[in-house]
Structure 1
């Protein structure tokens, strides 16, 4: 089957977007959230699948192996704003879910989140990842995912990324605005890829406290084993090997799962320039994310 051409980006209410994200916009904005929905939000390539899988196991790990071995993670945790022409939209897929709570993922900047999530006071889990590793991971994702704009070479991609000329816009805007929203909104739980990598047990406990869950010690150990990067990479229901638009021969969807892989991509000059931009953009933000652990 011949795949459609790569999408182009365009300015959408001040944020760089593609049609795959915006073509179901009215239905996204009018989406009716339920009070027990849990929304997982990230800037792209910040650990979305990892946290989706953690939450799916926390809520539904007890349901027996069939769910875990026969339903891909992107069907268990649908992508709210996704609207590929040949597939049901994200909103349609969510509305067909029969499990409670509904787990939903999104990359939306805070200003684009449908108002029903705020009205229903849904729990929102936001995951941040350091800007440099996000850039590297997003670049490789663009190379392998034909439904993403062509990233070009690494040098030109990094320039676009620093200018916010990638889908979902500027990393800085996304993370800062969500961090600021969290300061006044108690139903947002903020964690980071780095914190999860450094101490999964601690972050799991924080998540469970936020979600009001109390898994047994045995369930936690089972979950921690299942969500190890190497196990997820081999798991066909989690590694996106069922998605035709992703060419895993170009680059695997689950690539390295490491903190500070950016050091293998950034030149000294690129790193210095990026640090300058970072210092400027983050100067008024209290959020600290380490770029190595």
Structure 2
């Protein structure tokens, strides 16, 4: 029997500190660990597909984006006391978004059916590991005055309030003009139509947006269109076990 030439799912990933990461990324891990932060760097951290906003308008000299959990963030960022923004998103909407991302990025392994992918997600067998551990690791850091923990759902509900919170955290004056400008540039429609944020300039062989657009829906509660009743019950039970003892609470609809 002939074997398929495409590697199996798990062959795409290695592990650093027990966390699955792309092998190509691991190859350069020594550069990540040795990264030299500058005190005025602003770090934006998300678990993949959590809806990072364009923050060029309020950038200090450098914005560094990463998907790393707190324990793998280069130590230099902590030593230099850099400001860190963590943007979180509820697990159900996130797993739907992550699944479609897997389908459209041609370099990604085949995620299987949606149900298969949800199982992988629940077991932390996806790039950057367990969403539960990732989110909890950053939630624990929120007591650090240099860390701001934000919720995607809050941004969808009241973007002005969250932008003002962000500007205050960064020590920037929240003028109406600046707040309006940021709101305009970070609106989903604006980003969906902007080639610098929607990746439409990339060829199909890298990102096949005929399968799914990179900027897909950006709504809260879309998970209801994909979870069966049985899968939802299983997910809820597992979620409760994973998040037991944590004060972190998400909204799956607004």
The answer to whether 1:267 aligns with 2:218 is no
**The one of 139, 144, 157 aligned to 2:99:** 139
**Counterpart secondary structure, 1:237:** helix
Shift of 1:10: 3.1
Which position in structure 1 is the counterpart of 2:78?
118
How many residue pairs match? The answer is: 245
Shift of 1:237: 1.4
The answer to whether 1:130 aligns with 2:118 is no
Which position in structure 2 is the counterpart of 1:255?
216
TM-score normalised by L of structure 1: 0.80
Shift of 1:181: 2.0
Which position in structure 2 is the counterpart of 1:198?
157
Shift of 1:20: 2.8
Distance (Å, rounded) in 2 between the aligned partners of 1:228 and 1:159: 32
Which position in structure 2 is the counterpart of 1:238?
197
Which position in structure 2 is the counterpart of 1:18?
22
Which position in structure 2 is the counterpart of 1:163?
123
1:139/1:151 contact within 8 Å kept: yes
Which position in structure 2 is the counterpart of 1:152?
112
1:43/1:107 contact within 8 Å kept: yes
Higher relative contact order (CA 8 A, sep 6+): 1
Shift of 1:26: 0.3
Shift of 1:58: 2.3
1:9/1:149 contact within 8 Å kept: no
Distance (Å, rounded) in 1 between the aligned partners of 2:85 and 2:130: 20
TM-score normalised by L of structure 2: 0.92
The answer to whether 1:221 aligns with 2:225 is no
Which position in structure 1 is the counterpart of 2:56?
56
CA offsets per residue over residues 25-82 of structure 1, 9 Å max, x none? 001000000000000000000012x2xx1x21223xxxxxxxxxxxxxxxxxxxxxxx
Shift of 1:191: 0.2
